[in-house]
Amino acid sequence: MQKRDSEGRIIRNTKPLFEKEPIVDDCLPCIRHDKKVCSAYLSPAQKWRLGDCPLATHVTVMIKEDSGKKRVGQQKQTIKR
């Protein structure tokens, strides 16, 4: 049942479905927050719970490269006599 005001107009729920949680200490150098609220995620603590936040602007990911060559699809050599 929809709520109506005295003139018969439908009153919509103005409360947002989700409340944004405040940022955590790890978020402080990031530029994606404004007034202690993240612009990307609802719950910054959940993003930092299992590791670095994937959208953090102050975290750089270093990828190691193997210098040695890897041989792929090499068949076993048979010794013929």
Contact residues: ligand SF4, CB under 6 A = 23, 27, 30, 32-33, 38, 40-41, 44, 47, 53, 55-56
- What CA–CA distance (Å, rounded) separates 45 from 48? 5
- Cβ of residue 17: shortest distance to ligand SF4, in angstroms? 19
Closer CB to ligand SF4, residue 4 or residue 36? 36
Between 4 and 40, name the residue whose CB sits nearer to ligand SF4.
40
What length is written for the chain? Answer: 81
Contact between 36 and 25 (Cβ < 8 Å): no
Q: Please state the φ and ψ torsions of residue 14, each to the nearest 5 degrees.
A: -90, -5
